[in-house]
Structure 1
Amino acid sequence: MSDATTRPNPTDLARDLAARLPGPEHVRALFATVPRHRFLPDVLWDENRVRYDRSLDPDAWTRTAYTDQALVTQRDDGREDGTGLSTSSSSAPTVMARMLTAARIEPRDRVLEIGTGTGYNAALLSTLVGDDRVTSIEIDPRIAARARRSLIEAEFAPTVLTGDGENFATGLPGPAYDQAIATCTVSRVPAVWIRQVREHGRIVTPWAPTPGAPGGVLAVLDVADGRAEGRFEGGLAFMWARGQRRAGHRSPVGAEADTVTRVDGDPREPWLDGEQPLLLSLLMPGWAHGMGQEDDAEEPYVWIVSTTCPSWARLHADGRIEQAGERNLVDQAAQAREWWHDQGEPGYTDFGLTVDLARERQTLWLHEPHQTLWSTRRDAPHG
């Protein structure tokens, strides 16, 4: 522990953090003005799962509060007997700055935030447009109550509602907001977000094709004529919206394969690369993946399951590929990668999404909305 002469100064730490963030000056200045540590609980975990307890080491806790990383603020939905699953966090400031920049918020705009969390982002928004022009909704009553207390103690007063951000009514007539910013990942953009954002307003949300997937993209969607449409602005990972974080599929542990083939090299590689699974999920919908371990194997296998039929595959380090069902997922993935290569290997920002309320469809496209890759019912589980 440090002595009093070297203790971290939150004001200096906030200023240093703000200077390192991306985005325009008026966005970076928010992070120098709003003290992040005042919105964090006494116990938190960093991205390496290291635990920090303010009562045991306040200096380490304070320094960690001003690092540019996501900090886990709740595990297992607050249960004491859980497995340590991260269920709420304070997002990395770099990501928050990206989202605030993408939203293009003007001084007199009205902003809806889905996922209050600690209240830190709501305080940033209040600083940007004023307390009376920010509404934030949080599904967890305990998290919402703590955020309200933190906001009041830090002298902010946005409206904080307790409720399901995927299905709610604020009591305001018609489209009430200029922007909606979600601090949780969704695979199905809720209709209420589009209905609550005014014509030519904007929705900024983490999005992923596969429910419960570990990665995603930042979707920046403009609202017009009952649709939300726009490109992705790079990859990012957020906590899932609670109503969508369960993928609803099962790993094929112990299942008997219809076919077993063997290839040279390690067939797991595309799914062990951090970027490739997300790219494949954009190119090839309707699947999920994970890892398992055979009793006599030194390395884990990768499993892939279809979310649209009972098909599955297991890929082993020794080159074995086990598959079952009508859908050959391994071949489909290889064909998708080949097609991607033929298209010039487009990046995430070349893809976009259209959510059409009247047609009840979500459509993924490449380069332009008319270049459709695939569509799915907006309210249906998909990959």
Structure 2
Amino acid sequence: MSGHTVGMDHVPLAQALAARLRSQGTPEHIARLFAQVPRHRFLPDTVWGEDRTRYDRAADPAEWMRVAYTDQALTTQRDDGAPGGMGVPTSSSSAPSVMARMLAAAGIESAHRVLEIGTGTGYNAALLSQLLGSGSVATVEIDPELAGAARAALSAAGFHPDVRTGDGERTGGLPSYDRLIATCTVSEVPAAWLRHMRGRGRIVTPWAPTPGLPGGVLAVLDATRNHAQGRFEGGLSFMWARGQRRPGRSAPGPEAVADSTEQVPGDPREPWLDGERALLLSLLMPGWSYGLRMGEDATDPCVWLASTTCSSWARLHADGRVEQGGTRALFEEADRAWRIWEGWNRPAVSDFGLTVDPDRQTQTVWVHGPRHSLWSVRG
């Protein structure tokens, strides 16, 4: 992690970032944290922006410092730190507006203890420590190298929360807490997250219905030791928890032979090329994953759908062709789900929610309140 950049004053940049968050509606007590805690102190010397632009502190310290105080997620590790990889982002410093959104959703009060899952750079733990005092903050990081770097950066900045190296899906050995904030996406809310709740608490976590989906929601769950329930507060895409980032099902290969092929009007890929519509479909329709794949000699990618409960699949092409294999007609399932959604007067993502019952080992997605369950999975 970097220290001070010689000859550069970060304070105006941090103040401008905090002002931007205020203008977006961030509560004052949270916005001011971003002026008080220097983000650049928690960044490595090389980061990548959201457009994959590389910023190197040694090559251009002014630009590196400037980007540190922009409202964007900065990739801080690729390929789990292994050299010679494909450059897949595996850790980041989240966009400040997203961090502020999660801190506000947590409803943190002065007497609360907070557990963070996914320390990353340590910046969010520093914000929490500034808000509550280091003694009320614990944070868990699965990557030993990241945990060590975060611990050092926090100490150098004057913060001393309890930084643990371990699997954040298991919270054994940690003290009880009132709030849990996860900085990674899960599809199964770990039962361990509930078991250490001190009375009635709250879990704030990115969540997606199927492992490996490209998007998700922010789940804000009021929780006790044996129950968690709450609504989704809009879409949110985070890196997956390492224990859950396996894809729900891989794409059907080009050798997969369709059981049926039909020609439909228009572009059947359309819902899946719209992030919001694809997210709604993932909430309405259980047990499937999707993605894009470029076929041989194709000029446009096809959208593939794959069941996570059986071997069924579909390929949707720009020219209107729909190929399907297996017993589930995924394309028709999605069409029915979309018509039902329209019949319900098009509920927004925030009208959906989740109930977690660790005793029954179930997670239930509902709309317009817990009595209107859509589907449940065991997990």
TM-score by length of 2: 0.96
Contact 2:265 2:320 in 1 (8 A): yes
Runs of 4+ in 1 over 2 A off after TM superposition: none
Determine the structure 2 residue equivalent to 1:304. 305
Determine the structure 2 residue equivalent to 1:258. 259
Determine the structure 2 residue equivalent to 1:283. 284
Determine the structure 2 residue equivalent to 1:346. 347
Residue identity opposite 2:167 in structure 1? D
Cα distance between partner residues in 2 of 1:14 and 1:96: 15
Contact 2:248 2:288 in 1 (8 A): no
Residue identity opposite 1:43 in structure 2? T
Residue 85 of structure 2 corresponds to residue 82 of structure 1: yes
Residue 72 of structure 2 corresponds to residue 69 of structure 1: yes
Residue identity opposite 1:351 in structure 2? F
- State the secondary structure of the residue aligned to 2:275: coil
Determine the structure 2 residue equivalent to 1:163. 166
1:189-213 deviation per Cα after TM superposition (whole angstroms, max 9, x unaligned): 0011111122211100000101111
Cα distance between partner residues in 2 of 1:148 and 1:301: 45
Residue identity opposite 2:284 in structure 1? L
Contact 1:8 1:63 in 2 (8 A): no
Gaps of 5+ in 2: 1-6
Determine the structure 2 residue equivalent to 1:54. 57
Cα distance between partner residues in 1 of 2:65 and 2:207: 31
Deviation at 1:225? 6.0
Determine the structure 1 residue equivalent to 2:336. 335
Gaps of 5+ in 1: 1-6
Identity across matched positions, percent:
62
Decide which of 154, 157, 162 is 1:154's aligned counterpart. 157
Determine the structure 1 residue equivalent to 2:189. 189
Residue 372 of structure 2 corresponds to residue 371 of structure 1: yes
Further displaced range: 296-305 or 45-54: 296-305
Aligned residue pair count: 369
Residue identity opposite 1:157 in structure 2? H
Contact 1:311 1:323 in 2 (8 A): yes
Cα distance between partner residues in 2 of 1:367 and 1:199: 26
Determine the structure 1 residue equivalent to 2:3. none
Contact 1:198 1:223 in 2 (8 A): no
Residue identity opposite 2:340 in structure 1? W
Residue 102 of structure 2 corresponds to residue 106 of structure 1: no
Cα distance between partner residues in 2 of 1:324 and 1:295: 20
Contact 1:42 1:55 in 2 (8 A): yes
- State the secondary structure of the residue aligned to 1:160: strand
CA RMSD, Structure 1 to Structure 2 (Å): 1.0
1:69-111 deviation per Cα after TM superposition (whole angstroms, max 9, x unaligned): 1000000000111111000000000010011001111112110
Determine the structure 2 residue equivalent to 1:127. 130
Contact 1:138 1:162 in 2 (8 A): yes
Cα distance between partner residues in 1 of 2:225 and 2:234: 26
Contact 2:139 2:163 in 1 (8 A): yes
Determine the structure 1 residue equivalent to 2:273. 272
Determine the structure 1 residue equivalent to 2:199. 199
Q: Superposed, which structure 2 residues align to 1:200-219 within 5 Å?
A: 200-219=200-219
Deviation at 1:168? 3.3
- State the secondary structure of the residue aligned to 1:275: helix
